[in-house]
Amino acid sequence: MTGSGEEMHELVRRMYPLCRSITGDGVRATLDIVGEYVPLQVHEVPTGTQVLDWTVPQEWNIRDAYVADRTGRRVVDFTASSLHVLGYSVPVSATLPLSELRGHLHTLPDHPSWVPYRTSYYKPEWGFCLAQEILDAMPDGEYEVCVDSTLADGHLTYAEHVVRGQIADEVIVSCHVCHPSLANDNLAGVAVATYLARALAEQNPYYTYRFLFAPGTIGAITWLARNAERIDRVKHGLVLACAGDRGELTYKQSRRGDAEIDRVMRHVLTASERPHTIREFTPYGYDERQFCSPGFDLGVGSLSRTPYAGYPEYHTSADNPDFVTPEAMADTLALCREAFAVLDGNRRYVNLSPYGEPQLGRRGLYDSLGGRSDAKQAQMAMLWVLSLSDGEHSLLDVAERSGLPFDTVAAAAGALHRAELIKA
């Protein structure tokens, strides 16, 4: 996984300079890069399209923005960082005194060298974000202000990648592609999702996995509106965000709290002995709140490391590629693969010899354990699977009740199935 960590980190660095928003060419450029790693189906939804209770907004694109002093020196320069402009700023060209300009400047006084990330999606506004120390050094006087942007009818862009499984039932993996130069939130999530898709494509997964690369909130709402007739195929889901910082893993449960994905994530995190936190669902955060809204009530949780707003660098220029690590992204990816292996392998069986304990020795099942260091554990797993194979209990139920590792339980079920002692 170390190699994948380095590759994911390089992908984050590639995407980092692009100016992303909820619409526009920055999103398309990001998806073009992701499309080099996995094939994407890109969707363009026109401005004005009704999507549930929302309407697809106008498309925003920006070419340049700056604040220049009387010598022409750019004090604030969009070309140096996409964070320097208020997201969705309307165009402006003016000369203003600093006293008037201050109302359009956003800083972080507690972190004077950092630039904040601010947006104004649904209210026409313009502004700039800059370090407090830069503002403090600006003398009174006139400043040239320019935002060379367009806000016009266009499209909202999102993309899907599908890994076909043995069945049509789907697992949704979602990440948002609307933030500008922020490495952890959410480019690390995009990178982990991309490499997770590549890993699953090399297997033969049981479920079909649908990866969504969409702008936050409005993107998920648009996808749900456009897929309402087939939403019953979605059996499980996971939102990936803040996937690359050094903090411990955090899983936020679905609205249901007892969805299968919730149980799987709790089991895998506990069994792995990784430091972790399990959080209850709240209707605030990332797009799990859209998938879990009561009309859909999907079993979708959210995986991150340090949760949103839980670290000082959140939504600031300090959330840069140096803030995320290859090791953390590799660990997040590994956890996802472990969890989906459990999800894919979680079956219910029926004991075909339920009256008394079947004789395992004459079927060669005990002999098959010879030489295994965990032979006693594997034998107990067979007995537990036989005991709970009543069509009601899943292999995850068996693992939780017995305290045995899921992969040991799944291997026992495979042996019993081959011996025709249980059936799915």
pLDDT value for 56: 98
The enclosing H or E element of 45 equals strand 41-46
Mutual angle of helices 260-272 and 395-402, in 10-degree steps = 40
State how beta strands 170-176 and 208-214 pair: parallel
The residue to which tokens 């904040």 are assigned: 116
Digit-coded pLDDT (tens) for 273-285: 999 999 999 999 9
Q: What is the pLDDT of residues 360-405, one digit of tens each?
A: 888 888 766 555 567 788 889 999 999 999 999 999 999 999 999 9
* C-alpha to C-alpha distance for 339 and 107, rounded to whole angstroms: 40
pLDDT at 1: 45
**What does the pLDDT average to over 14-37?**
98
**pLDDT digit string (tens) for 155-190?**
999 999 999 999 999 999 999 999 999 999 989 999
> Which pLDDT belongs to residue 365?
85
Could you report the per-residue pLDDT of 198-217, keeping only the tens digit for each? 999 999 999 999 999 999 99
Give 68-93 pLDDT, tens digit per residue. Answer: 999 999 999 999 999 999 999 999 99
pLDDT tens-digit series, residues 206-261: 999 999 999 999 999 999 999 999 999 999 999 999 999 999 999 999 999 999 99
pLDDT for residue 371: 54
Q: Would the annotation count 179 as a binding residue?
A: yes
Region 47-58 average pLDDT: 98
Element at 162 (helix H, strand E):
strand 155-163
Q: Is 185 annotated as a binding residue?
A: yes
Question: 285-324: per-residue pLDDT in tens?
Answer: 999 999 999 999 999 999 999 999 999 999 999 999 999 9
pLDDT tens for 325-349 read 999 999 999 999 999 999 999 999 9
Q: Domains of the chain by range and CATH?
A: 2-57+155-342 (3.40.630.10), 62-152 (3.50.30.90), 348-423 (1.10.10.10)
Residue % of the chain over a pLDDT of 70: 98
21, 117 in Cβ contact below 8 A? no
Query: pTM for the whole thing?
Result: 0.95
Cα separation, 88 vs 90, in Å, equals: 6
